[in-house]
Structure 1
């Protein structure tokens, strides 16, 4: 008998009575986990900090939870959290050694946890209005694939060919331990900065954003980045993933003991480029948001509309060392 996969998006099953990952019925309401792991919240005192949801309502980091069976927690979630916690609290040299799959699973679990809570809130609001909950089929497809890949935590899943994601780890030359987290649920884009490292992830692009930014990544290589430089890289990835215009398809082949997942070619039947046109004005608006901690304003970024301001590269497109970054006073 082939491996059985749980598919909550087929029937939009987001009940708190079922394990988010396996679908098995839970024995009590206490079978749940934090979306943001407890160790991370304790490290940066996040528990009661506000977390804005898509409908503009506010929650808190600690209020975001996922129904999870004791078995899934003991066998999959807890061992992953222990490995990630040890590496993250040690810093860049340990994080860079983590397998990409482990980073994908940890990031994906958090992003899916936020998504799960967003969907439940949307369903409750629509029900209160007596209206049917409408879910875009493209998002059902995309989020369903994310959940499928997350089941690599509990199932023997082999990713063949191109990996479904772009994940990059950067060393940050930080004078103090700053924590910064961002996500964009619709595009499945994620970034986190803490200690002396930062991570950027596009969870379902088949590696195309890393290719799109190949020149930037090559120039950075393993050089440490100023925090403002890392945020600039984030802005580039968040914007390019917004421009990414394909809905990836995957061939899924379950066998009696393993599930094989292979990314299908993105070009398909279209000759259209994989990314829509890059507009400097729009990118600058994204960058302004990422540079808010340093108070860099849009008009400064766009003094030269053809060449938006950069802390990564000089006018000759050469990399600027972290120590040479000159921030506004």
Structure 2
């Protein structure tokens, strides 16, 4: 049976006359959707704000677009509408969104950035006359993300465990807060706004969440100060960097649906799934996430055995009071 899953990475087909999700030919290069939701850009005045690409070039949020057929645009529109309503409603409504719909919403943004990065790389390659040199490990990850995103338009069952894990936290943010982060090499994403924050790992089979289960147990049911969420964020982003597996998935297509099953992460090397946690490197990550509060690396790792934390007190209990501005 011919595969119904579209794979643009076979021939690196990333032009503006082909639907990014299905490969359908488009009648015009104007058939596009925004990478970042229009409602979000307008709510936080993002449209003309700068967005830094991997090559250090600056573009605007609204310039990031995806070539898209009407059918796919309508399917994304339905998801966008549900997520917009929930996010405007706040933490409780976002928490109740089905994880697969949240994945489709997050995945479209992250893959949209990947798509625009690849387009920029292709333009640079053509201008220089050099051959395209793209990491096969990244192609592997991006192809899997693209396959999983096609769950939007074809019935899909993720077997045993979802490849992605999305956590929603209640956060006492300032009313005008909007903070977006991603790392496309490790496929991790966070966003903080309203009275909540979202942390998503898109291709680790939930392993990072298991890695942090102790701290997640302590914060469960608690409203976080922004500095506390940023600490969780730093832990996730650093552990995603330490994650040393390239997850594999099997795809079984039937006339009714596509079945996606993660392969075991243990391999013949018997290496731990995560590389060793280095306190200084973690401190550098945390320093970056804590920039609004001005903590330095020296302060953070002054005691290397017990780096600075705002999550737990000296007795190992959740710190309910944080006397810092929200930021």
Indicate the TM-score class for this superposition, using the shorter chain for normalisation: over 0.9
| Residue number in structure 2 paired with 1:309 | 308
Partners of 1:142 and 1:21 in 2: how far apart? 16
**Root mean square deviation of aligned Cα:** 1.3
Q: Per-residue deviation at 1:3?
A: 5.7
| Residue number in structure 1 paired with 2:38 | 38
Contact 1:313–1:320 (Cα < 8 Å) also in 2: yes
Q: Structure 1, residues 94-118: CA drift from partner, whole Å, max 9, x if none?
A: 0000011011100000000000000
Partners of 1:15 and 1:318 in 2: how far apart? 53
Q: Per-residue deviation at 1:2?
A: 6.0
| Residue number in structure 2 paired with 1:133 | 132
- Partner SS, residue 168 of structure 2: strand
Contact 2:44–2:176 (Cα < 8 Å) also in 1: no
Q: Per-residue deviation at 1:284?
A: 0.6
Q: Show the 5 A alignment for 1:131-280.
A: 131-280=130-279
The answer for unaligned runs of 5 or more in structure 1 is none
Q: Per-residue deviation at 1:197?
A: 0.3
- Partner SS, residue 181 of structure 2: strand
Q: Structure 1, residues 149-204: CA drift from partner, whole Å, max 9, x if none?
A: 00000011110011101211000122433110000010001000000000001100
| Residue number in structure 2 paired with 1:102 | 101
The alignment covers a number of residue pairs equal to: 326
| Residue number in structure 2 paired with 1:26 | 26
Contact 1:239–1:286 (Cα < 8 Å) also in 2: yes
Contact 2:283–2:297 (Cα < 8 Å) also in 1: yes
| Residue number in structure 1 paired with 2:281 | 282
| Residue number in structure 2 paired with 1:80 | 79
The answer for unaligned runs of 5 or more in structure 2 is none
| Residue number in structure 1 paired with 2:68 | 68
| Residue number in structure 2 paired with 1:58 | 58
| Residue number in structure 1 paired with 2:324 | 327
Q: Per-residue deviation at 1:318?
A: 1.4
- Partner SS, residue 306 of structure 1: coil
Partners of 1:2 and 1:37 in 2: how far apart? 34
TM norm structure 1: 0.97
Contact 2:173–2:193 (Cα < 8 Å) also in 1: no
Q: Per-residue deviation at 1:83?
A: 0.3
Partners of 1:23 and 1:103 in 2: how far apart? 23
Partners of 1:236 and 1:191 in 2: how far apart? 12
